[in-house]
Amino acid sequence: MPAFQTSPGMRDILPPESGRWRRFTDVFADVVERAGYGQIVTPLLEDLGVFTRIGDATDVVTKEMYDFVDKGERHIALRPEMTASVCRAFAEHRPTVPWKVFYSGSNFRYEKPQRGRYRQFDQVGIEVLGADDAFLDVEVIALASEFYRRLGLRQVTLVVNSLGEPDDRARYVEALRAYFTAAGDRLSEASRATLERNPLRVLDSKRERDQELIAAAPQIGDFHSPEAAAHFVAVLDGLRTLDIEFTVEPKLVRGLDYYRRTIFEFQGGTLDSAQNALGGGGRYDGLVEALGGPATPGIGFALGVDRTLLACDDEGVFAAEPVELDAFVVDVTGGLQAVALTAELRAAGLAVDRGYDNRSMKAQMKLANRSGARFAVIIGDDELAAGTVVVKPMRGDGEQLAVPRSEISTHLAAHPDQN
């Protein structure tokens, strides 16, 4: 056993999986950059206060924060999500609106790890600050939807809901509190504890015993103000116009307390996974203000990289694929020829690898085979003397042939196929 291993909930991403991660973020960047979003990079660490604004009734803040006091006596926390950081950046720099940004990177939450849930986990996402348009909500959701399409995912379902304006939400929370409190011990003990902290969260309970009560609980829709209701209707109309399938789920409540009005979640098709939330987001008008900035509407989403990739595995799409090599140089004259030829071919724009340690031809050919390169370029004593190299196709059944050393790079460039 190794003397050291990664901390709980942390892990290494090795090739070729790491290449898949990079392609994942590349595809995401392509989708959102084409829609006018620019990348934002914020610090991994922020003043703890930035995150406590998320809401002190959320588990993310109360028990999952990775916080510490630094050498300057500052109370610091590793970011548990990106939205708060983006809002802090907005309040700090005051860019012109609408401000459309995207990000990708790691977040940290001190939780008990399990499959699809890590203490360090990556997300990609977008945020738009300074626009109130219901059709912006539609655009944001559509971009996530487009991203899933680009990955090849088919079994992702979109659920939407509206939490209403802050006042609506507050009245609804009180109605829920009254309803569940009246239920007394018909509600599970665990949920009664949740009720104390955050009545909305009771709707999320997965305990059998609570399901009947939850089904009959007050509905948020009945508390929507005319403005909130109109906004929600506009969002749904927009989604229909874009042919984006969705289901309205009145019991959908997201984990962060800053959400207002539109909220949504993308769920994977895999059965029996408690970690089926691939991503989600919503409006958070008021968060910028809470962080000391001007009153500014905001909306965005974050998608979990791990979970989305897990969903890709389940659907057999967006697989990890090794980098394609054009050639693998095999040199049995000592290695100097390989160094020179490899450098030359790489300079010519080809993807080339080679063997090391002056191993036997058989050993080097095995490496060439394993590398997946299209051709093996072989240099032995005969070739060295004749000023040639042997080019051997490694796939297909083409014949190997001797090529003048000086023509090798043009030869390879002219033979993208097997012969």
Partner RNA sequence: GUGGUCAUAGCUCAACAGGUAGAGCACCAGGUUGUGAUCCUGGCGGUUGGGGGUUCAAGUCCCCUUGGCCACCCCA
Pair 332, 390: CB distance under 8 Å = no
Provide the strand spans (E) within 38-176: 38-39, 45-47, 66-69, 75-78, 99-108, 120-129, 157-162
Neighbours of 404 (CB within 10 A): 11
DSSP 162-198: E--SHHHHHHHHHHHHHHHHHHGGGS-HHHHHHHHH-
Tokens of 1: 């056993």
Answer for which of 39, 241, 247, 369 binds RNA (CB under 7 A) is 369
**Nearer Cβ to RNA (118/223):** 118
**Nearer Cβ to RNA (6/39):** 6
Interaction with RNA in 373-392: which residues (CB under 7 A)? 376, 378-383, 390, 392
Interaction with RNA in 347-366: which residues (CB under 7 A)? 359-363, 365-366
Answer for which of 22, 186, 240, 395 binds RNA (CB under 7 A) is 395
CA-to-CA separations, 83 to 17, 103, 153, 289, in angstroms, rounded: 27, 10, 25, 13
**Nearer Cβ to RNA (253/345):** 253
Answer for which of 255, 286, 293, 300 binds RNA (CB under 7 A) is 255
Closest distance to RNA from the beta carbon of 215 (Å): 15
Query: Considering CB under 7 A, how many residues would be counted as binding RNA?
Result: 73
Answer for which of 132, 133, 204, 314 binds RNA (CB under 7 A) is 204
* Contact code string over 45-84 relative to RNA, x by CB under 7 A: -------------xxx---x----------------x---
Interaction with RNA in 162-201: which residues (CB under 7 A)? 190-191, 194, 201
Interaction with RNA in 9-48: which residues (CB under 7 A)? 9
Closest distance to RNA from the beta carbon of 94 (Å): 26
Q: Residue 47 pairs with which residues in a beta bridge?
A: 76
Closest distance to RNA from the beta carbon of 210 (Å): 7
Closest distance to RNA from the beta carbon of 237 (Å): 26
* Contact code string over 108-127 relative to RNA, x by CB under 7 A: -x-xxxxxxxxx-x-x----
Q: Which residue, 296, 253, 304, 325, is CA-closest to 57?
A: 253
Tokens of 106: 């790691």
Tokens of 100: 């459309």
Closest distance to RNA from the beta carbon of 81 (Å): 6
Distance between CA atoms of residues 102 and 86, nearest Å: 9
Pair 80, 50: CB distance under 8 Å = no
Interaction with RNA in 264-293: which residues (CB under 7 A)? 265, 272-280
Closest distance to RNA from the beta carbon of 64 (Å): 7
Distance between CA atoms of residues 220 and 174, nearest Å: 11
Answer for which of 231, 254, 354, 405 binds RNA (CB under 7 A) is 254
**Does 371 participate in binding RNA (rule CB under 7 A)?**
no
Sequence-distant (6+) residues with CB within 8 A of 406 are 387
Taking CB under 7 A as the binding criterion, the range among 2-10, 179-187, 286-294, 313-321 that sits at the site for RNA is 2-10
> Please, is 356 exposed, middle or buried when counting C-beta atoms within 10 Å of its C-beta (0-12, 13-18, 19+)?
exposed
